[in-house]
């Protein structure tokens, strides 16, 4: 794993977008693992610019999102399905049928989780996984716990996550549960790019200056052979 420090959110976003653009140029049929939230917004803006400038092409790419809230239909304003359409998919030439997000509204969430893992397997795994990080060190919605969970699963969101994500909901209350890919899909990704703005400096420092522990899920990337953590802050972490 390598740590790359950038001075601004914009530089961080460009740096991550360049890695994704290089991946797509190398392999147009790439399977991109994607994240939602505030962190990747600059990356998506930059990738849209590169697409509009004719530098990258998504026509053969596949995308697999990390997570979705339980109980929200894909049309809900705060669903991650809608977030992805509005902030990325509607502005590039990815085929809608090649974009995948867990169905948070599935009648049988366990069956949906199993289906999602089969889907990722059928796609041949993830080529490049883009990640943000929670204030508690979560990646996807793999929350701090006593052990890592390998498979896609339904998770009860922690208080820290509900508080952090309340800002996106008019009543301040996100759904209490979500479906998230597990650690296997993330750690088996051929490359991983984690982005963390200045407000995440403390957790980035904790996650990557100790050892691997499920209490700080992102720390699992310490063992990944091709992970790049791009963070923003005034000092080097190590």
Binding mask 139-168 for ligand F6R (x = CB under 6 A): xxx---------------------------
Residue 78's nearest CA partner among 148, 196, 178 is 178
**Binding span for ligand F6R by CB under 6 A among 6-14, 16-24, 138-146, 184-192:** 138-146
Binding mask 10-39 for ligand F6R (x = CB under 6 A): -------------------------xxxxx
Distance CA 123, CA 202 (A): 35
Q: Is the separation of the CB atoms in 27 and 123 below 8 Å?
A: no
**Minimum Å distance from CB 197 to ligand F6R?**
7
Q: Which residues contact 86 (CB under 8 A, 6 or more apart)?
A: none
Name the token pair of 8: 């601004």
Which burial class, exposed, middle or buried, applies to 214 when counting CB atoms under 10 A from its CB (0-12, 13-18, 19+)?
middle
CB atoms within 10 A of CB 99: 20
**Minimum Å distance from CB 54 to ligand F6R?**
29
Q: Which residue has the CB atom at the shortest distance from ligand F6R?
A: 132
Q: Is 138 in the site for ligand F6R (CB under 6 A)?
A: yes
36-65 residues near ligand F6R, rule: CB under 6 A: 36-39
Give how many residues touch ligand F6R by CB under 6 A: 14
**Binding span for ligand F6R by CB under 6 A among 22-30, 134-142, 150-158, 203-211:** 134-142
Q: What is the DSSP string of 144-160?
A: --SS---S-EEEEPPHH
Query: Which residues are known catalytic residues?
Result: 67, 136, 138, 143
Cα diameter, the chain = 47
List 33, 42, 109, 132, residue binding ligand F6R (CB under 6 A): 132
CA 167 to chain centre: 19
Cα-based distances in Å from 131 to 14, 105, 107, 121, 142: 15, 23, 28, 19, 12
**Minimum Å distance from CB 53 to ligand F6R?**
26
**Binding span for ligand F6R by CB under 6 A among 91-99, 100-108, 127-135, 223-231:** 127-135
**Minimum Å distance from CB 193 to ligand F6R?**
12
**Minimum Å distance from CB 55 to ligand F6R?**
25
Residues near ligand F6R (CB under 6 A):
35-39, 66-67, 132-134, 138-141
């Amino acid at each position: 794993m390598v740590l790359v420090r950038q001075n601004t959110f914009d530089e961080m976003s460009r740096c991550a977008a360049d890695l994704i653009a290089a991946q797509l140029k190398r392999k147009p049929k790439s399977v991109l693992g994607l994240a939602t939230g505030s962190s990747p917004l600059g990356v998506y803006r930059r990738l849209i610019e590169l697409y509009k400038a004719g530098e990258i092409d998504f026509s053969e790419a596949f995308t697999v999102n990390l997570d979705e809230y339980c109980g929200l239909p894909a049309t809900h304003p705060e669903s991650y399905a809608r977030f992805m359409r509005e902030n990325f998919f509607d502005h590039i030439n990815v085929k809608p049928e090649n974009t995948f997000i867990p169905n948070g509204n599935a009648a049988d969430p366990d069956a949906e989780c199993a289906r999602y893992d089969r889907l990722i397997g059928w796609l041949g795994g993830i080529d490049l996984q883009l990640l943000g990080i929670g204030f508690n060190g979560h990646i996807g919605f793999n929350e701090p716990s006593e052990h890592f969970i390998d498979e896609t699963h339904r998770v009860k969101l922690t208080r820290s996550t509900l508080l952090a994500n309340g800002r996106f909901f008019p009543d301040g209350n996100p759904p209490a549960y979500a479906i998230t890919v597990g650690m296997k899909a993330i750690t088996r990704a051929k490359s991983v790019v984690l982005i963390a703005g200045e407000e995440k400096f403390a957790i980035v420092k904790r996650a990557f200056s100790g050892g691997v522990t499920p209490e700080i899920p992102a720390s699992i990337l310490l063992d990944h052979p091709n992970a790049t953590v791009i963070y923003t802050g005034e000092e080097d972490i190590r």
